[in-house]
Structure 1
């Protein structure tokens, strides 16, 4: 993949339109988690160090092209000022003359891009209006890269464009995981439903050497093999599809790993009475809520031999103990191998990040994507418009 970074751009005296993701959680008008804000700081500081003036473009929520006061980015400004250690000028309707009048090193925050009806339609007139505010476009919002919007794809076509530090880090990590990975490559895919991850599974079996399937999805694959799963969550109508995926994997030389033992319970609640049984021995009145210890040992063996790991989704009902054990143990094994320099580990998706944090493993993974939809579409092998536009 060939994209320009901030290092390739002359920014002295330039206004740099910087697309960021600061769509942060808020409560009572205050930011409750500043992670996304903190992650854009290196890009802003580097632009300033190179003599550029920063204009931040971002969306917040889903205002659907209308002005919704409680979705104003001005609410995010105080947390942004704390993270950057300087004042930030908020502009409801930015104008180039007003931006030029600000001193060097100034940071401007423009109002929510999605207040414009043309943003999500990738309206060329709106993209041109944005372009008129600056000299260079820097995209630092990988999480919005799967959408062809005026402030992402449209703008990148109109100005000299580059990836910000966060975007470049994300793209490099993804390229190392699926673009030109060290082999063997193992993917862990969990979650409730096969139907929501068909494109993902179909793409992965042609790209990876081992595919570990967990969560409710694994139950559907067990059903496809004629195994009864009692009252477990399973998409029985997807059995044919699961068999097609297994056949495609076999043809591609990808080994699919399903649970060999499972943890079952009669009720879905924390601390519920539970037992471990062979995968094919789930009682008719019970449900599978986690992979068993023998399955975890088998997964750890796959990890031991692997060079690259991609992870999306938990192995069981990780939200409630004791059905978080398989996810925790496998995540900690991956973290241990990564720490030892034996594994490149990349993970992404909302549930995945929460599960790895809960396991205390997130900090040791090579890279954790917070991009959600963009990360999934990349894993599915789809072109991301916001990234493609940076390729020129």
Structure 2
């Protein structure tokens, strides 16, 4: 059994799949969080869940795997045939791919699996009700099994039909992969006044602002906004950011940032000097250094920034006495050749007494870092700030529910 998750009180720890005796021929749903981009360049999220699926199959369970990829609303959700092929190789057995997941044919495929058989069903985000946690869709998914093992740490901060929705329909257990992520993150979770702490929040996703900035500005000593988070901070302070990246829901994020800045316990780093470049589609040209007070010219975007002297002094102090640090989101447009802030922060995070972790699939794939990582992104940020997640709450509620298993 996995050691008790240190950051969760014993009475709040979810029940583990490792504690569940698997009966030969049982029908199980495995709720995964593969979400690999086209081309299968980064398969770490699949690899993280292979052991749980193998344990179920090796014990004779009939395993129906549900996973997501892309988004329904922007048309990026794709079929998962390549994932089934890759999973077959990792498990050493054929994984049947069934493109559907709610039809009678899909249910028939789940029932026809032999003990030890594994099938990957269609992308859950082919349904508009997946991300809105439609209970009717969850009930359709639930027909693929009689119990559910919940993995998919990357979506554990979201209440979707294929995770928290399924837990309203079937008895459920936390996958070992989910608990491993919690254990990995526990040194960086919650407030710890005994150890200095610094968080870097970059990237473009709204959760970096709405979840990360809100929570870590209360539990960490210093927060360094970067990427879209920095641009929202600048907008909230009255600066025009021209073509700088704001991600989805820009008005909501900027409004939330203004509120967060007014109540932040952390010291928030706002650079006086930034590097801007002319934006043309997905490329950048004519880079130059300016002061924020000069304003961002029309057609230009912030692509990098310089650390203020007070922050550099504090980083040296933290590195000498020991501290914890989180980098969630690439601080600058590193892959486009703008690596000043990213390189400086990574070099510091690699110091012997800096206990640092990189969060998020894009961050991990883009930045060279030899230390601890988590592909959890928004889930990791939510857990670090709240020491809890919607999926964990749903698992605890599920465990307290009297079920009649078939």
TM-score (norm 2): 0.71
Report the counterpart of residue 329 of structure 1 in structure 2: 344
Mark the runs of 5 or more structure 1 residues left unpaired by the alignment.
none
Number of aligned residue pairs: 365
Q: Distance in 1 between matches of 2:33 and 2:256?
A: 36
Q: How does 1:16-35 map to 2 (within 5 A)?
A: 16-26=28-38, 31-35=40-44
2:52 to 21, 43, 55: 43
Q: How does 1:149-228 map to 2 (within 5 A)?
A: 149-179=160-190, 183-191=195-203, 197-198=209-210, 200-215=212-227, 217-218=229-230
**Is the Cα–Cα contact under 8 Å of residues 229 and 282 in structure 1 kept in the other structure?**
no
**Is the Cα–Cα contact under 8 Å of residues 17 and 54 in structure 1 kept in the other structure?**
yes
Note the alpha carbon deviations across 1:101-149, whole angstroms, 9 max, x for none. 5443221222333456764554545544544443431111122334433
**Is the Cα–Cα contact under 8 Å of residues 207 and 378 in structure 2 kept in the other structure?**
no
Q: CA deviation at 1:8?
A: 1.6
2:324 to 271, 295, 308: 308
In the alignment, does 2:146 pair up with 1:140?
no
In the alignment, does 2:14 pair up with 1:3?
yes
Report the counterpart of residue 392 of structure 2 in structure 1: 387
Mark the runs of 5 or more structure 2 residues left unpaired by the alignment.
1-7, 398-406
Q: Distance in 1 between matches of 2:127 and 2:202?
A: 37
Q: Distance in 2 between matches of 1:388 and 1:294?
A: 40
Stretch moving more, 105-114 or 3-12: 105-114
In the alignment, does 2:305 pair up with 1:291?
yes
**Is the Cα–Cα contact under 8 Å of residues 5 and 162 in structure 1 kept in the other structure?**
yes
Q: CA deviation at 1:248?
A: 2.0
Equivalent position SS for 2:93: coil
**Is the Cα–Cα contact under 8 Å of residues 216 and 316 in structure 1 kept in the other structure?**
no
In the alignment, does 2:93 pair up with 1:86?
yes
Equivalent position SS for 2:334: coil
Q: Alpha carbons of 1:112 and 1:381: their partners in 2 closer, same or farther (altered >3 Å)?
A: same
**Is the Cα–Cα contact under 8 Å of residues 229 and 280 in structure 1 kept in the other structure?**
no
Equivalent position SS for 1:179: coil
Equivalent position SS for 1:16: strand
Q: CA deviation at 1:209?
A: 1.6
When the two chains are superposed, the root-mean-square deviation of aligned CA atoms in Å is: 4.2
Q: Distance in 2 between matches of 1:60 and 1:242?
A: 29
Equivalent position SS for 2:336: coil
Q: Distance in 2 between matches of 1:110 and 1:243?
A: 43
Report the counterpart of residue 111 of structure 1 in structure 2: 122
Report the counterpart of residue 4 of structure 2 in structure 1: none
Note the alpha carbon deviations across 1:237-263, whole angstroms, 9 max, x for none. 9999767644423xx3x2223336x35
Q: CA deviation at 1:188?
A: 1.1
TM-score (norm 1): 0.73
**Is the Cα–Cα contact under 8 Å of residues 266 and 274 in structure 1 kept in the other structure?**
yes
